[in-house]
Amino acid sequence: MPLFSASDITKSFAGVQALRGVSFELRQGEVHALIGENGAGKSTLIKIMTGALTPDSGTLKLNGHVLTHHSPAHARALGIAVVYQQPALFPHLTVAENIALSLEAGGMWRRVDWKSRAARAIELLERAGSAIGPGRLVATLSMPEQQIVEIAKAIGADAKVLILDEPTASLTGHEVESLFRVIAALRSHGVGIVYISHRLEEISAIADRVTVLRDGQTIDTRLVNEVDRAELIRLMVGREVSAIFPKRKVPLGDVVLETRALRSRAAGIRDVSLTVRSGEILGLAGLVGSGRTELAETLFGLTPADGGEILLRGKVVRIHSPSHAIGLGMGYVPEDRRQHGVVLEMPIAANASLACLPAVSRYGMIDAARERGLARGCVEQLRIKTGSIYAETGSLSGGNQQKVALARWLAIHPTVLILDEPTQGVDVGSKSEIHGLMIDLAEQGVAIMMISSELPEILGMSDRIAVMHAGTVAGVLSRQEATQHAIMHLALGGTDA
Ligand SMILES: Nc1ncnc2c1ncn2[C@@H]1O[C@H](COP(=O)(O)OP(=O)(O)OP(=O)(O)O)[C@@H](O)[C@H]1O
Ligand SMILES: [Mg+2]
């Protein structure tokens, strides 16, 4: 008997049939991967499993018992724990408080034993493979660190069913390895694990079985060691796609962006000296916490520099705010799209035109027809899955929101474009399309800085690779010199050979 099963589940939202008869079963002590293109229905299915959404029809069973009136509290009580695609922590509370809040009964206002609370948090974080300080405010944590806190919470809940929705999207090699050790340990204790990821190599590394969803339907469930990557892709997209990085050689122009001994105490970066040429893709590699996102935020004026220089086309500039940076011709797609990537409450069309209002405006008014044209173009070019360009961006699937964040910059041609994990959470087919678009932009002379935690992406797409460690650049590798090994060596604090 399966540990958990969902049969013939349907679910529709206003105008969108997200699930049309999905069936899925999870055994005790297995890692069951759930894969499919952006918008296939993966997150919707797991929200139904955790009681966060009510299905329109279908049956859920745990240990053979039908679950009726399923709710998040009910799911928690039954030992179903989940780490959502977007961490859902309280930013103004500490790490220990967040963990305690989810585990302790009776609410947080009763008398608490701070010492044991901190000790418990440290222990769970350690089991999640991390040494994040329990006293830190969640607001100060990076996305990957928040993800790890979510995982610690789930471990603490002593779950029988553990659902992970793209837990590794923003993690680098080391963190992924330690997460995999955690998963393996839980599996050996009989926990059933549902694992969602767009990184297919992870599926073969960690999963026992894999279920493929497409357009809200179950396509197939297979044993992982009886199916190869090409077949998984075929099952997912229903057609042949090459998932090879389509790097084309683009002639490089002049240096467009240069930093000289750049420092920002607030951002924790120091002594960063880099150049990016027109037409060049500079990869920025490094571990979580090495300062890559912080460097991007300093360049874009979110945490302004307090030392060193930024030069744009040879001229020293002091970038004091994002709007100043945009005015200077810079574009930025942040990793945490919820914070400043897209406005979730706004329709797709408005998000797409946000950075190029002059182009869609006439006499200071937005020209609806031009905006519509622009948005339609973006939706088509990036294959954003939506019923309408006027749909709220927040109603899109995670990967499709990421595409909207990118769409904005395709409409204008910035001088410098900084992309933080541009294909995070994006499915294989769309990923190679985004890579193709990046090269198109480079061909048009845009200087691109790409932060990525995926070494194959860094190696495949970059002309040169700057590796960060402890807030500074540990070394810069040419395309020829760069290997996974050379990058990891620098990322771990080794010196440039
Ligand atoms: N609250 C909502 N309102 C309207 N439509 C929604 C809502 N939630 C999901 N959808 C739609 O349901 C479909 C399935 O979305 P879901 O988030 O389950 O996809 P997914 O497989 O998790 O994709 P991704 O890989 O991008 O995370 C999408 O078309 C999405 O736009
Ligand atoms: Mg999803």
**Which residue's C-alpha comes closest to atom 3 of ligand 1?**
395
Phi-psi region of 95 (alpha: psi -120 to 50; beta: other; left: phi over 0): alpha
CA distance linking residue 170 with residue 325, whole number of Å: 25
User: Which ligand 1 atom sits nearest the alpha carbon of residue 391?
Assistant: 4
Check the CA dihedral 408-414-417-423 and report its sign: positive
CA neighbor of 62 nearest in space, from 40, 47, 79:
79
3-state secondary structure at position 310: strand
Range ranked top by mean pLDDT from 2-16, 166-180, 272-286, 400-414? 272-286
pLDDT at 350: 75
CA of 400 to the centre of ligand 1 (A): 8
DSSP letter for each residue of 344-400: TTSBHHHHHHGGGHHHHEETTEE-HHHHHHHHHHHHHHTT---S-TTSBGGGS-HHH
pLDDT at 111: 59
Q: Mean pLDDT across the stretch 153-165?
A: 89
- Long-range pairs, 206-209, Cβ under 8 A, ≥24: 206/31, 206/33, 206/180, 207/31, 207/32, 207/33, 208/30, 208/31, 208/32, 209/30, 209/32, 209/33
pLDDT at 461: 94
Question: Based on the number of CB atoms within 10 Å of its own CB, is 381 exposed (0-12), middle (13-18) or buried (19 or more)?
Answer: middle
148 vs 467, residue with greater confidence: 467
Fold match between domain 4-237 and domain 242-329+414-497: yes
3-state secondary structure at position 85: coil
The answer to whether residues 266 and 306 touch, using CB atoms and an 8 Å cutoff, is: yes
User: Which ligand 1 atom sits nearest the alpha carbon of residue 42?
Assistant: 21
Instruction: Tell me which amino acid residue 34 is.
Output: L
pLDDT at 497: 47
Element (H, E) at 125: helix 114-127
Please determine, looking at this structure, whether the domain spanning 4-237 carries the CATH number 3.40.50.300: yes
Given the structure tokens 């859920």, which residue do they identify?
A: 60
- In this structure, are strands 361-362 and 365-366 parallel, antiparallel, or unpaired? antiparallel
Tokens encoding 418 = 């900084």
**Which residue's C-alpha comes closest to atom 25 of ligand 1?**
38
**Does the pLDDT at position 105 exceed 90?**
no
CA of 337 to the centre of ligand 2 (A): 14
User: Which ligand 1 atom sits nearest the alpha carbon of residue 47?
Assistant: 18
CA neighbor of 152 nearest in space, from 176, 172, 132:
132
Q: Given pLDDT bands bounded at 50, 70 and 90, which one contains residue 177?
A: confident
Q: What is the pTM of this model?
A: 0.75
CA of 47 to the centre of ligand 1 (A): 11
CA of 285 to the centre of ligand 1 (A): 30
The answer to whether residues 200 and 32 touch, using CB atoms and an 8 Å cutoff, is: no
DSSP assignment letter at 290:
S
**Which residue's C-alpha comes closest to atom 17 of ligand 1?**
397
Q: Which ligand is nearest to the CA of 40?
A: 1
Residue of 389, 395, 430, 431 to mutate, ligand 1, most atoms within 8 A of C-beta:
395
Q: Which ligand is nearest to the CA of 348?
A: 1
The answer to whether residues 437 and 381 touch, using CB atoms and an 8 Å cutoff, is: yes
Q: Mean pLDDT across the stretch 338-345?
A: 65
Q: Which ligand is nearest to the CA of 165?
A: 2
Return the domain boundaries, the chain.
4-237, 242-329+414-497, 344-412
pLDDT, one tens digit per residue, over 233-275 is: 888 877 655 555 667 888 999 999 999 999 999 999 999 999 9
pLDDT at 1: 86
The answer to whether residues 259 and 447 touch, using CB atoms and an 8 Å cutoff, is: no
CA distance linking residue 100 with residue 79, whole number of Å: 17
pLDDT at 254: 96
User: Which ligand 1 atom sits nearest the alpha carbon of residue 400?
Assistant: 26
**Which residue's C-alpha comes closest to atom 7 of ligand 1?**
395
Q: Given pLDDT bands bounded at 50, 70 and 90, which one contains residue 57?
A: very high
Q: Mean pLDDT across the stretch 464-471?
A: 95
User: Which ligand 1 atom sits nearest the alpha carbon of residue 213?
Assistant: 21
CATH placement of domain 242-329+414-497: 3.40.50.300
CA distance linking residue 136 with residue 342, whole number of Å: 27
Element (H, E) at 18: strand 16-26
CA neighbor of 468 nearest in space, from 277, 272, 181, 282:
272
DSSP assignment letter at 435:
H
pLDDT at 245: 60
CA of 397 to the centre of ligand 1 (A): 4
User: Which ligand 1 atom sits nearest the alpha carbon of residue 166?
Assistant: 27
CA distance linking residue 157 with residue 79, whole number of Å: 7
User: Which ligand 1 atom sits nearest the alpha carbon of residue 85?
Assistant: 27
Given the structure tokens 């990891």, which residue do they identify?
A: 488
CB atoms within 10 A of CB 254: 12
Q: What residues contact residue 290 under an 8 Å CB cut-off, 6+ apart?
A: 468, 469, 470, 471, 491
Residue of 20, 38, 43, 82 to mutate, ligand 1, most atoms within 8 A of C-beta:
43
CA distance linking residue 54 with residue 9, whole number of Å: 10
CA of 471 to the centre of ligand 2 (A): 32
CA distance linking residue 262 with residue 411, whole number of Å: 30
pLDDT at 363: 62
User: Which ligand 1 atom sits nearest the alpha carbon of residue 397?
Assistant: 17
CA of 398 to the centre of ligand 1 (A): 7
Q: How far is CA 462 from CA 138, 250, 429, in A?
A: 33, 11, 20
Q: Which residues are near ligand 1 (CB < 6 Å)?
A: 13, 16, 18, 36, 38-44, 85, 385, 395-400, 425
**Does the pLDDT at position 437 exceed 60?**
yes
CA distance linking residue 319 with residue 144, whole number of Å: 27
Q: Given pLDDT bands bounded at 50, 70 and 90, which one contains residue 431?
A: confident
Question: Based on the number of CB atoms within 10 Å of its own CB, is 250 exposed (0-12), middle (13-18) or buried (19 or more)?
Answer: buried
Residue of 13, 17, 401, 434 to mutate, ligand 1, most atoms within 8 A of C-beta:
13
